[in-house]
Structure 1
Amino acid sequence: MSQHLVNYIDKLQNQKIMIIGDMVADVYLEGKISRISREAPVLILEHSCETVVPGGAANAVHNAATLGGQVYAVGVIGDDNAGQQLTQVLTKKNVNTQGFIVDSSRPTITKTRVMAGGQATVRQQIVRIDRESRQALVTNIENQLLSYVEENIRNMDAVVMSDYGSFTVSSAVREFVIEACSKAGIPSMVDSRYNVMAYKGIKLVKQNESEAANALGFRVLDQNSLIQVGQEMLERLDSEAVLITQGPEGMTLFERCGSISHIPVSNKSEVYDVTGAGDTVVVTMMLALAAGASYYDAACLANFAAGVVVRKPGTATASPVELKRAIGEHQP
């Protein structure tokens, strides 16, 4: 099985994948603790550097590009520095960012983390500042986004909608993408934090345990309710496969044919940070499907990719070399 999966990794290269969703700029402001302020009982930090890292759907884009996919990123950014920096970071990764629609009436979705530490202290987050519009896209911007998708979607090998609840994937976008992919026979997948049951007709669904439970009115999932939720979601959305990730318990794949496959994590002992691992799972699975893998093999490969990124701090990516190494080192 391991060598079988390794053979797919080189086939991921240059698969065309469109990722539509809420593009986020994760900004890290680094500082050193200087002293306590005289104005208030708060720390004064001496600013040392600022880093912009792709977050939200942009993290999925970053992951797909690192794996070698030919990525078409589609989303909305503001006419601001965060949007420009996010575009620059992804362009350097050879991502096609022509699908970034600039809306001067709303800011780029930004999550700014102020990080601090001293010589003898551990670096830690002091505060996080979020900036985003709570309004739906205006008609002009939505039409521009739809126009770009319509012009390019039929050339794709796979399409992902990464819906973090920040209005990029409107009902019009959602319905057009599902119908266009269905007509063209293109694998389509949704990863939606709050609204997955609106994606009827999507071919593949990815949810974590909490999201899946909330979508169908459960507080938590045990083994029995997990199966119930997976099967009900598969049926109600008329999908071909549903993948529910379960943190340290791995993931479970439900297929329309009736197959239920549990895939355990590749290495429980090395989990460092699960931030963004779901995005890694989604794009790895979709690139593998585009390369000809079955749903099960694609999910297994995605599981190994997630095992790579959880060993790294923050939102991270897995390269083809790291993925091959992880599979080679795995002891079932």
Structure 2
Amino acid sequence: MYNTYIELINQLSKQKVMVIGDMVADVYLEGKISRISREAPVLILEHENQTVVPGGAANAVHNTATLGGEVFAVGVVGNDSAGYELIRVLESKSAKTEGLIIDDGRPTITKTRVMAGGQATVRQQVVRVDRESKQDLEPAVEQKVLAYIEDKISSMSAVVISDYGSKSVTSEIVSYVITRCQQLNKHCIVDSRYNVMGYRGVTIVKQNESEAAAALGCKTLDRAQLLTAGHTILERLEAEAVLITQGPDGMTLFERNGKYTHIPVTNKSEVYDVTGAGDTVVATMALAISTGVSYLEAACLANYAAGVVVRKPGTATTNPAELKAAIGVYYENRQS
């Protein structure tokens, strides 16, 4: 199997993937603790650095690019510094950003984390400030997004819809993409935080446990409920496969033929940060399934990729070399 996975990774760079969704700029403001303010019982930080990291659907774009795929980002950003920096970062990874429509009346979705620390202390998040519009997309902006999708979709290997609930992904966009993918016989993968049941007709559904539970009106899922949830989502959405990620417990794949497979984590002892790991799973799944492998093979590769990024702090990505190395270590440990 080791050689099979290595060959699969080599094939990822030949795939074209369109990622449509809520593009988020994760902004990190870093400072050194100076003293306590006299104005209020709060820390005063001396500003040291500011970085913008792709988040939300932009993280799925970022992961697809670093894995070697040719990725086309589609969504909306504001006419602001966060939006332009997000575009710059994605372009630096060779992502195609012509599908990121600039909306003068809508700010870039921004999650700003203020991080405090010193030379002898661990950096910690002090506060997070979120900025996003709660309004629907303007019809003219929506039409620009649709026009780009219409122009490019036929040349894609797969399409990902990454819906974080920030209203960049409208019902009209969803309807068009699913219908067109069906007509073109292309894989359409959805990762929706709040509205997965609105994606009937997609090929593959990715959810984490809490999202799957919420979709069915539950607070949590035990093993029996997990199996029920997987099969229910599969049936209601008429999908080919449903992948439910379970954090330290791995993930479970449900397929149209009634088969389900649990995939354990590759290294439970080295989990550092699960932030953004779901986007890694989606990106890897989209690229892998585009090569023609089975849903199970694609899910297993996505599991290895997630195992790499959870060992890194913050919203992280992996690349083919890291992925090959991680798989190599896993098989070496199995043989020892």
TM-score range, shorter chain: over 0.9
Give the distance between the partners of 1:285 and 1:253, measured in 2 at CA. 12
The corresponding residue for 2:103 is 103
Give the whole-Å Cα distance in 1 for the aligned partners of 2:110 and 2:282.
22
Aligned equivalents of 2:27 and 2:165: distance in 1?
20
Q: What is the rounded CA distance, in whole Å, between the counterparts of 1:269 and 1:118 in structure 2?
A: 27
Shift of 1:3: 2.2
Separation in structure 1 between the aligned mates of residue 3 and residue 261 of structure 2, nearest angstrom? 20
Residues 1:229 and 2:241 are matched in the alignment: no
Check if 1:304 corresponds to 2:298.
no
Written as runs of structure 1 = structure 2, the 5 A alignment for 1:72-151 is: 72-151=72-151
CA distance in 1, matches of 2:47, 2:307: 34
Partner of 2:35: 35
The residue that corresponds to 1:182 in the other structure is 182
CA deviations on 1:113-167 (whole Å, 9 max, x unpaired) are: 1111122221111110100001110101111101110110011001000000001
Counterparts of 1:323 and 1:241 in 2: how far apart (Å)?
24
Partner Cα distance (1:10, 1:237) in 2 = 32
Q: Secondary structure at the match of 1:119?
A: coil
Amino acid at match of 1:327: I
Aligned 1:159-238 pairs, distance under 5 A:
159-238=159-238
Distance 1:217 1:38 in 2: 48
Deviation at 1:15, TM superposition (A): 0.7
Rounded Cα–Cα distance in structure 1 between residues aligned with 2:118 and 2:246: 36
Q: Counterpart of 2:291 in structure 1: which amino acid?
A: A
Give the SS at the match of 2:283: helix
**d(CA) in 2 for partners of 1:95, 1:175:** 25
Q: Distance in 1 between matches of 2:329 and 2:87?
A: 35
2:48 is the counterpart of 1:48: yes
- Match in the other structure for 2:239: 239
Deviations 1:2-35 (A, max 9, x none): 2222210000003100000000000001111111
User: Which stretch of structure 1 is more off in the superposition, 230-239 or 218-227?
Assistant: 218-227
Q: Does 1:61 align with 2:61?
A: yes
- How far has the Cα of 1:270 moved from its partner? 0.4
Q: Deviations over 1:244-281 (max 9, x none)?
A: 00011100000001111110000000000000000000
For residue 241 of structure 1, what is the amino acid of its counterpart? A
AA partner of residue 215 (structure 2): A
Q: Which runs of 4+ in 1 moved over 6 A?
A: none
1:173, distance to aligned residue in structure 2 (A): 0.3
Question: Which amino acid is the alignment partner of residue 17 of structure 1?
Answer: V
Deviation for aligned residue 1:176: 0.3
- Matched position secondary structure for 1:273: coil
Q: Secondary structure at the match of 1:287?
A: helix
Q: Deviations over 1:35-72 (max 9, x none)?
A: 11122221111111100000000000000000000000
Q: Classify the secondary structure of the residue corresponding to 1:13.
A: helix
Aligned partner of residue 106 in structure 1, secondary structure: coil
SS at match of 1:212: helix
C-alpha distance in 1 between matches for 2:86 and 2:231:
38
Q: CA–CA distance in 1 between the matches of 2:201 and 2:76?
A: 25
Deviations 1:170-218 (A, max 9, x none): 1000000000001001111000000000000001000000000110112
Structure 1: 5+ residue stretches without partners: none
- Residue type matched to 1:248 in 2? P
Q: Which stretch shifts more, 64-73 or 215-224?
A: 215-224
3-state DSSP of counterpart to 2:234: helix
Structure 2 Cα separation of the partners of residues 44 and 236 of structure 1: 52
Aligned residues: 332
Q: Which residue of 1 aligns with 2:263?
A: 263
- Residue type of the partner of 2:197? M
**Residue 286 of structure 2: aligned partner:** 286
Tell me the distance in 2 between the aligned counterparts of 1:219 and 1:130. Answer: 25
Q: Kindly provide the amino acid, as one letter, of the partner of residue 99 in structure 1.
A: G
What CA distance in whole angstroms lies between the structure 2 residues aligned with 1:92 and 1:306? 23
Name the SS for the 2:165 alignment partner: coil
Question: Secondary structure of 1:136's match?
Answer: coil
Measure the CA separation in 2 of the matches of 1:284 and 1:95: 15
Q: For 2:23 and 2:268, how far apart are their aligned partners in 1?
A: 30
